[in-house]
Amino acid sequence: MKTIFTLFALLSLITYKAQQIYPLNTYYEDVPNYSYMKDLNNDLPPYEGTYKATFEGNEITLFITKEDKMLIDYGADDRKYYQDVLHVKYTIKNISTGNVLEDNLNSNSLSEREIISMGTNPKENNSIDLGFVGGRCFIGWGRITLLKINDTQVKWAYYPNSLILSDSTCPNSSNLKIYLPDTRNLIFTKE
């Protein structure tokens, strides 16, 4: 019996296939399931931190953290892989009233108002491309770009996509406003 167990263990070691690691910007459909797109060049850590900016009477605070080896699961098309990502949590506060207009601080999954990096853009000084899931009924979904200007500042650009909504596609269509700054070249300063 000991010989059979030893033989089984040896065969398991020989046939074990290590997880394949690819550079961060590798296209997910070009790799086997459960591959790992790793930040090999350490492009993401310089963006971590808390940043603030003001825009149209609102104070926007970004809380940017890095997560190593996050599982991305597309479910329906059966694509699953790991990737190093940046998560962006935020609060948007009206300066004159102090009221919080919008935040995603309590979001812990790919749900409403989630912002997560998709990779870097080497053609634009390794800026970070992020996907914004959007708010209720996906209003405002789109792409955000962050570009590191120096050790304490990043430049923000938000490219929202629009959706045509009706009561059938978004029942009880209230509170659909997105307060993220719909602008390019907004400078955020690190706290």
Q: What's the pLDDT tens digit per position in 152-177?
A: 999 999 999 865 666 666 766 666 78
* Amino acid of residue 139: I
Quote the tokens at residue 113: 């108002």
Contacts of 34 (CB under 8 A, 6+ apart): 19, 80, 81, 82
List of long-range contacts for 94-101, beta carbons under 8 Å, 24+ apart: 94/57, 94/58, 95/54, 95/57, 95/58, 95/59, 96/57, 101/58, 101/179
Number of residues that this document lists for the chain: 191
Quote the tokens at residue 70: 């996050």
Q: What's the pLDDT tens digit per position in 106-119?
A: 876 556 688 999 99
CA proximity to 20, closest of 64, 71, 82, 77: 82
| Coil, helix or strand at residue 15 | helix
Of residues 104 and 86, more confidence is placed in 86
Q: Report the mean per-residue pLDDT for the chain.
A: 85
Residue 18's pLDDT band, with cuts at 50, 70 and 90, is low
Of residues 183 and 164, more confidence is placed in 183
* Per-residue confidence (pLDDT) for residue 13, from 0 to 100: 41
* Per-residue confidence (pLDDT) for residue 168, from 0 to 100: 66
- Torsion angle in degrees (nearest 10) through CA of 129, 135, 140, 141: 40
Q: Do 53 and 189 form a contact (C-beta atoms < 8 A)?
A: yes
User: Does residue 41 carry a pLDDT above 50?
Assistant: yes
Between CA 116 and CA 64, with CA 147 as vertex, the angle to 5 degrees is 40
Q: How far apart are CA 130 and CA 74, in angstroms?
A: 17
User: Does residue 136 carry a pLDDT above 80?
Assistant: no
Percentage, residues of the chain above pLDDT 70: 80
* Per-residue confidence (pLDDT) for residue 12, from 0 to 100: 43
- Only one residue has tokens 């962050």, namely 146
User: Cα–chain-centroid distance for residue 145?
Assistant: 11
Domain regions of the chain by residue span: 2-190
Q: How far apart are CA 127 and CA 49, in angstroms?
A: 16
